Homo-oligomer: A and B are copies of this chain.
Amino acid sequence: MLRVGINGYGTIGKRVADAVDAQPDMEVAGVAKTRPNFEAKQARERGFDLYAAIEDRADQFGEAGVETAGLVDDLVAESDVVVDATPSGIGAQNRALYEEHDTPAIYQGGEDADVADVSFNARSNYAEAEGADHVRVVSCNTTGLSRLLAPLQEEYGVEKVRTTLVRRGGDPGQTGRGPINDILPDPISIPSHHGPDVNTIFPDLDIDTLGLKVPATLMHMHSVNVTLESEPDADEVRDVLAGQSRIMVLDKDLGIKGTGPLKEYAKDMGRPRGDLWENCLWGESVTTVGRDFYCFQAIHQESDVVPENVDAVRAITGEMDAEESVATTNDALGL
């Protein structure tokens, strides 16, 4: 069994812990947290060993009646792989800790690409992470784009990608974020960082991205244009996309008009926390005009990178190839 430590137990970390716990070949070595908040308490409820991420604050856990098993150093020492799910920028600061213990580490997409030897998306470049000590799972939006672009690239060739990302202002739990009643170009300058980030996965791809932020919390929305190198009809492309294990092509009959009903659908399916690990792509929106492909897809910012983190653990160890790992992850999650 691979022992996986999770440093950071917030939006991503807690989901990765549950996903690791569900795998047949992995176990959670423990989770590290800076404060004894509701998530720390829930970690203990789930039976995960809890480690204090900041030595100076370790006492707070005992005072709050939350049992810890030690400090984050101990967790890193006894893990085969660590998933760093700390806030943007903290992962880079933690790199020295992982190096000290010679523990391979997986970082999140909020870190700069140079934190790691390789940026990772299971569908696109799984094998590149084999044997790497530092791997970065790209952000939710870059993951969503990579999953879509990999099959289009393979089947039809991609001449150019132009995509507008209409981003949620904050997650449902981030009460301090905005905007309220506004539509913000974000950033105002073009391209947004997403295009260059996709290039960490597809180095030669010609891609321009534009970002906006709106008063919504549930999911991101991508308005996608890809100029292909050939001229498939829309039905054919829709079938290719529906055949991808991490793209859910939404039938018109479902009557799902936006991200609200999508999340409701996830909850009705019994998904933990109402998560949508797949790209959610409207079948009706798949359109071709000559060599131009268009579609809308929604991306669940809190969860779509979760299965990618699980696969990254296996990619590093070389235990399974991409196909086997993705199938194992999906099967364990019920995806």
Contact = CB atoms under 8 A, between A and B. Distances in A.
Contact of A214 (B164, B188, B214, B289): B214
Contacts of A294: 190, 208, 210
B216 A185 contact: no
A215 B216 contact: yes
| Oligomeric state, in copies | 2
A217 B296 CA distance: 22
Contact of A179 (B168, B217, B258, B296): B258
Interface in A157-209: 160, 162, 164, 166, 168, 179, 181-186, 188-191, 208
19 contacts: A164-B164, A164-B166, A166-B183, A181-B215, A181-B217, A182-B216, A182-B218, A182-B258, A182-B260, A183-B214, A183-B220, A183-B221, A183-B259, A185-B223, A185-B285, A189-B284, A190-B294, A212-B223, A214-B216
Interface residues of A, number: 44
A98 interface: no
Contact of A223 (B217, B218, B223): B223
Given A166-B183, A181-B218, A219-B183, A292 B208 contact: yes
